[in-house]
Amino acid sequence: MNKKVLHISIHIAAWACFLMLPLVFFPRPKESGYFPEQAFNLYFILINIFYIAFYYFNSAVLIPRVLERKKTLAYTIIILCLLIFVGMFPRLYQYFFGDILKIGSAIRSNRPRNFRPPLLSPGSISIFLLVFIFSTGIKVINQWLQSERRSKQIENEKLNTELSFLKAQINPHFLFNTLNNIYSLAADRSELTAPAVMKLSSIMRYVLTEAKNDLVPLEKEIQFISDYIELQKMRSTNKTLVSFTVAGDITGKQVSPLLFLPFIENAFKYGISTRELSPIDILLETENGTLDFRVKNNKHVNSMLKLSANTGIGIQNARRRLQLLYENQYQLNITDESSTYAIHLNMTL
Amino acid sequence: MLTCIAVDDEPLALEVIKKYIAKIYFLELKGSFTDPFEARQMLDNTRIDILFLDIQMPDINGIEFSKSISSKNTAVVFTTAFSEYAVEGFNVDAIDYLLKPIEYDRFLKSVYKAKEYVDYLNNQELHEGYLFVKSDYQMVKINLKDILYIEGLDDYIKIYLPHKSVLTLMTLKTIMQKLPSNEFVRVHRSYIAPISKIDHVSKSKIKIGEKEIPIGVSYSDSFFSAMENKLG
């Protein structure tokens, strides 16, 4: 409401300034006394009503209804017609109403008796053009600002959805296989059942609640990683040897949630074998505001590659997220050798 | 008895299947493997009727694995925790497709489905099947449906047919693997008998025609459970 009032007052003030223009530009005779009686006559009122009407007609009707619908020719013709009309206005006025300046004055006396305004008055045309430039200019600028704002909004929304999509990638294979393992433990009445359910539920809670936040405490992220690793170990044979080491002071630090998971998932996806020993080494180290994260695993001949076309999408997503969130504050090195695969992520917190 | 093995890269997933198999009297678990390549060796050397096979495994996926099995007499039941490969599973002639966690009733249902398939194949094999054995430097054709019983004599076996018998260098264990398991049963350390030829069964012996065969103590459980199958 306040905004509307402000908007209207600005318009009124602007028009008041506009109406004062003749005071500045009108050829002022040396003798005083022609103002205001002479300037604010019927002619003045009519032509200014025309200007004001044209201003709003142009911005509210002509631009959105004609120009924006690519009818440029029609728009040009309408503007030209109006321009000719306004150019001819003084002559027409004189024809219908008599002389523009009725009251005898110095100006009149300077003019020849049979003075007639030119067929196209340059004065009224230039004021018309001034109004036209303002009307169209302001409208176009406004619309440009609006569409700019909208496209920025759309981009923001896109980034948000993309981020949440990238974050919420908990692998259904992991979920259902873990549930199946827990089912097996439960069927055996194993003592390991309860801790396994606990770990899965804290993982789920973390993914469903914490992962919505932009930043989470590093300790929570580390707890999540260790729960995840414990569950992966439960699923694996004794050929899989996982080590997870955390070094440095992790308190009071924040990090984007689930940032490290894709690298760990990748290690469990491609780095394990039931035939050969499969060591997976994970290291997370903080020092002076930087974080070092390393994952190293062996590579095995893997036929799963043939099944899923979306190979490496996890790493790709992780890279994209890093790019979005830690633009110039991270370094990701991937060492892909014939028998081992290692990633090293260094980032500023 | 139907022989079966289970393959899954996750030890705890295998435990469930092993437990279910143990509950079903006509199933005999020959082994369970986290390493598919060990399972392959067993499949190559032993007659396996049903294979319970995980799809998502790190070294080779179950679908590739099942395509590589040479024996067409093995019924494959896929087990997987996540269903995106269901269609592919059936493209390789799987008998059934089980979603983990598997309920016992569902498991049993698919076992019966597999049994039907194996029985059908075995009957077909029994009526049309034959094998050649070496005897007196010759290859002799033996129609499976003609076999009355088989007697083991150390390194040799003697196959009794209606009007003759054939002696060949082979052990009872080896020939057992070549015979349809729902028809031929080990009755005794020295005897294999086709169930359809048995005329009479008592507590300690069976009769085929005029021949009496004792039931071995260590074979009586599996023998009587196989007979239970045919009980009217």
State whether A99 and A226 are in the same domain: no
The nearest CA of chain B is from the CA of A333 a distance in Å of 25
Measured distance CA(A258)–CA(A269) in Å, rounded: 17
* Average pLDDT of the residues in A232-260: 91
Q: Inform me whether the pLDDT recorded for B88 exceeds 80.
A: no
Q: What count of residues does chain B have? A: 232
Q: Which of A308, A51, A188, A120 is nearest to B15 (CA)?
A: A188
CB of B21 within 8 Å of a chain A CB? The answer is: no
Range with the poorest average pLDDT among A59-63, A226-230, A314-318: A314-318
Range with the poorest average pLDDT among A91-95, A193-197, A298-302, B113-117: A298-302
State whether A222 and A246 are in the same domain: yes
Q: Which residue of A has its CA nearest to B18?
A: A184
**Quick one: tokens of A254?**
């924040």
Measured distance CA(B109)–CA(B16) in Å, rounded: 16
Distance linking the first and last C-alpha atoms of chain A: 44
Partners of residue B36 in chain A, C-beta under 8 Å? 274
Please report the ipTM that was assigned to this predicted complex: 0.72
State whether A82 and A206 are in the same domain: no
Measured distance CA(B149)–CA(B161) in Å, rounded: 8
Q: Inform me whether the pLDDT recorded for A309 exceeds 50.
A: no
Contact flag B19-A181 (C-beta cutoff 8 Å): no
Measured distance CA(A248)–CA(B171) in Å, rounded: 67
**Quick one: tokens of A236?**
């694996």
Domain boundary residue among A164, A192, A226?
A164
**Quick one: tokens of A116?**
């007639």
> How many domains does one find in chain A?
2
Measured distance CA(B154)–CA(B142) in Å, rounded: 21
pLDDT in tens, B134-186: 988 899 999 998 999 999 998 899 999 999 999 999 999 889 888 887 789 99
Interface test with B, best of A174, A183, A184, A272 (most B CBs within 10 A): A184
Measured distance CA(B171)–CA(B182) in Å, rounded: 19
| Residues whose CB is less than 8 angstroms from the CB of residue B198 and which lie 6 or more positions away in sequence, other chains included | B206, B207, B208
For A26, half-sphere exposure in the C-beta direction (CA atoms, 13 angstrom radius) is 17
Measured distance CA(A62)–CA(A56) in Å, rounded: 9
Domain boundary residue among A134, A164, A194?
A164
Range with the poorest average pLDDT among A83-87, A104-108, A166-170: A104-108
State whether A45 and A190 are in the same domain: no
Range of the domain at A19: 2-164
Domain boundary residue among A164, A192, A207?
A164
Query: What pLDDT, on a 0 to 100 scale, did the predictor assign at position A173?
Result: 83
Give the helix/strand (H/E) hosting A78: helix A72-97
Interface test with B, best of A175, A177, A235, A305 (most B CBs within 10 A): A177
Indicate if the alpha-carbon torsion angle A254, A259, A261, A267 is positive or negative.
Answer: negative
State whether A148 and A215 are in the same domain: no
Q: At residue B220, what is the residue type?
A: S
Contact flag A177-B56 (C-beta cutoff 8 Å): yes
Distance linking the first and last C-alpha atoms of chain B: 17
Fold of B2-126: Rossmann fold (3.40.50)
Measured distance CA(A305)–CA(B58) in Å, rounded: 10
Is residue A171 within 8 A of residue A231, CB to CB? The reply is no
- Tell me which residue has tokens 């050829």: A27
Q: Which of B69, B221, B68, B88 is nearest to B78 (CA)?
A: B88
Residues linked to residue B188 through DSSP beta bridges, in sequence order: B191
pLDDT in tens, A250-286: 998 999 888 898 899 889 888 888 888 999 999 999 9
Give the global pTM. Answer: 0.64
Fold of B130-230: OB fold (Dihydrolipoamide Acetyltransferase, E2P) (2.40.50)
State whether A187 and A323 are in the same domain: yes
Q: Which residue of B has its CA nearest to A301?
A: B59
Contact flag B35-A301 (C-beta cutoff 8 Å): no
> Domain extents for chain B?
2-126, 130-230
Instruction: For residue A304, count CB atoms less than 10 angstroms from its CB and return exposed for 0-12, middle for 13-18, buried for 19 or more.
Output: middle
Measured distance CA(B81)–CA(B63) in Å, rounded: 14
State whether A91 and A215 are in the same domain: no
